[in-house]
């Protein structure tokens, strides 16, 4: 009863004490695995949750490819991983996931021929509206469109795996909002970075369900990490970080479910679900937010159009 009440409080579920309580129910054997021969791609891998997922999966024997936007930070992360996990196999590739053409070019020219796991972890929470070079609002481009394009481009290489998995890192911040595509470019209202972020994180969960429906051979999962003390939280939500820093999870704790979803053998074929601390979590807790899921097909079509549609002379989607 006490656990139920603490989980309903949100704070004492998403914080460090929540992880410590939930961890008592973990099965240690779930991660008693050898991932030798498996190839894992992780976006946003140079710090925070992505870095910890690299460390955890590298320690289990996987060959881990760090997909990072910044060369210096990526190199620093690679050196640290090689130092801290000397038996691990790590590789750095530069990729700006917010750019559809970058994602497609990476897959076409440099991606491994067989990919066992893709973790779409990279994300941004901008304080002001910005567009990518392709003319797409930055938050949507990084959190939704880029991961969609990368996942889609990698499907043939994922098919070559005996147990292909894609993991979408969402956020508990999506709970208060419904999927809403009415102004996804944020051109008709004042920009609100926190709201834009929440909407994209809701979109990730909806797309996860659609990936599971459309690609039944693929184990597609979404998760949220709770409240973790990461560089992204410190820079994007400074006030929130100041108020909660004493109770935030360690990055390792936030990344635990990412590692579990990538490695646990009994999850093979368990697709389309949303996870938190190694347990299935509801996708809706606020009444009315489920109404937006009816726009899922429109979201899928929008992403396809932005990836495939006509482009102007500098490569930007004309639909923007």
Domain coordinates in residue numbering, the chain: 30-308
pLDDT value for 2: 55
Average pLDDT, the chain: 93
- Quote the CA–CA distance of 192 and 199 in Å, as a whole number: 11
- Quote the CA–CA distance of 257 and 31 in Å, as a whole number: 11
Helix spans in 27-177 (H): 48-59, 71-84, 100-109, 138-140, 146-159
Report yes or no: 59 and 88 within 8 Å, Cβ to Cβ: yes
Q: Beginning with the edge strand found earlier in the chain, give each strand of the sheet holding 279-280 in spatial order.
A: 89-94, 63-68, 39-43, 117-120, 165-169, 219-223, 273-276, 279-280
pLDDT value for 233: 74
Q: What share of the chain is helix, strand, coil (3-state, %, to 5)?
A: 50, 15, 40
Q: Is 219 helix (H, G, I), strand (E, B) or coil?
A: strand
Half-sphere exposure of 186 (CA within 13 A, CB side): 23
pLDDT value for 229: 78
pLDDT band of residue 66 (cuts 50, 70, 90) is very high
Nearest to 262 by CA among 221, 204, 205: 221
Among this protein's residues, is 106 annotated catalytic? no
**Least confidently predicted of 62-71, 127-136, 309-318:** 309-318
pLDDT value for 238: 80
pLDDT above 70 coverage of the chain, percent: 93
Average pLDDT, stretch 227-246? 80
pLDDT value for 245: 79
pLDDT value for 310: 58
Q: Is the pLDDT of residue 74 over 70?
A: yes
Q: Is 274 helix (H, G, I), strand (E, B) or coil?
A: strand
pLDDT band of residue 318 (cuts 50, 70, 90) is very low
pLDDT above 90 coverage of the chain, percent: 85
pLDDT value for 12: 65
- Quote the CA–CA distance of 20 and 314 in Å, as a whole number: 50
Average pLDDT, stretch 117-133? 97
Specify the DSSP element, H or E, that contains 167.
Answer: strand 165-169
Reported as a single tens digit per residue, the pLDDT across 132-142 is: 999 999 999 99
pLDDT value for 59: 98
Average pLDDT, stretch 31-54? 98
Average pLDDT, stretch 294-318? 78
Average pLDDT, stretch 16-40? 97
- Quote the CA–CA distance of 220 and 213 in Å, as a whole number: 9
Q: Is 131 helix (H, G, I), strand (E, B) or coil?
A: strand
pTM of the model: 0.94
pLDDT value for 9: 56
Average pLDDT, stretch 30-39? 98
Average pLDDT, stretch 30-53? 98
Q: Is the pLDDT of residue 314 over 50?
A: no
User: Looking at domain 30-308, which CATH architecture does it have?
Assistant: 3-Layer(aba) Sandwich (3.40)
Residue 285 φ/ψ region, left for φ over 0, alpha for ψ in the -120 to 50 degree band, beta for the rest: alpha
Reported as a single tens digit per residue, the pLDDT across 76-95 is: 999 999 999 999 999 999 99
Report yes or no: 19 and 226 within 8 Å, Cβ to Cβ: yes
pLDDT value for 249: 95
Cα dihedral sign, 265-23-220-139:
negative
pLDDT value for 313: 38
- Inter-residue long-range contacts of 258-261, CB under 8 Å, 24+ positions, other chains counted: 258/49, 258/53, 258/56, 258/119, 258/121, 258/167, 258/169, 258/223, 258/225, 259/31, 259/53, 259/56, 259/57, 259/60, 260/30, 260/31, 261/165, 261/167, 261/221, 261/223
pLDDT value for 319: 42
Average pLDDT, stretch 68-75? 98
**Residue appearing with tokens 């979201």:** 299
- Quote the CA–CA distance of 214 and 207 in Å, as a whole number: 10
Average pLDDT, stretch 210-220? 98
Q: Is the pLDDT of residue 316 over 60?
A: no
Average pLDDT, stretch 204-212? 98
Average pLDDT, stretch 15-31? 97
């Amino acid at each position: 009863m006490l656990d139920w009440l603490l989980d309903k409080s949100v704070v004492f579920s998403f914080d460090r004490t929540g992880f410590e309580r939930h961890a008592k129910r973990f099965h240690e054997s779930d991660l008693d695995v050898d991932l030798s021969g498996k190839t894992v791609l992780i976006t946003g891998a140079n710090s925070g949750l992505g870095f910890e997922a690299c460390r955890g999966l590298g320690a289990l024997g996987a060959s881990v490819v760090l997909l990072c936007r910044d060369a210096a930070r990526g190199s620093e992360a690679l050196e640290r991983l090689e130092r801290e996990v000397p038996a691990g196999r790590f590789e750095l590739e530069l990729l700006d996931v917010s750019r559809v053409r970058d994602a497609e070019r990476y897959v076409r020219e440099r991606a491994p021929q067989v990919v066992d796991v893709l973790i779409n972890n990279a994300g941004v929470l901008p304080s002001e509206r910005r567009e990518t070079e392709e003319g797409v609002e930055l938050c949507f481009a990084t959190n939704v469109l880029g991961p969609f394009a990368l996942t889609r481009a990698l499907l043939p290489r994922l098919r070559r795996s005996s147990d292909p998995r894609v993991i979408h890192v969402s956020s508990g911040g999506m709970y208060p909002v419904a999927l809403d595509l009415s102004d996804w470019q944020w051109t008709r209202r004042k920009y609100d970075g926190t709201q834009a972020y929440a909407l994209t994180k809701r979109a990730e969960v909806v797309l996860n369900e659609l990936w599971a429906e459309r690609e039944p051979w693929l184990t597609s999962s979404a998760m949220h990490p709770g409240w973790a003390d990461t560089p992204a939280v410190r820079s994007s939500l400074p006030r929130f970080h100041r108020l909660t820093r004493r109770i935030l999870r360690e990055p390792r704790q936030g990344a635990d479910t990412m590692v579990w979803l990538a490695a646990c053998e009994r999850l093979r074929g368990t697709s389309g679900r949303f996870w938190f601390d190694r347990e299935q979590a509801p996708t809706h807790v606020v009444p009315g937010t489920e109404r937006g899921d009816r726009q899922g097909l429109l979201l899928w079509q929008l992403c396809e159009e932005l990836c495939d549609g006509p482009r102007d002379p500098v490569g930007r989607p004309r639909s923007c």
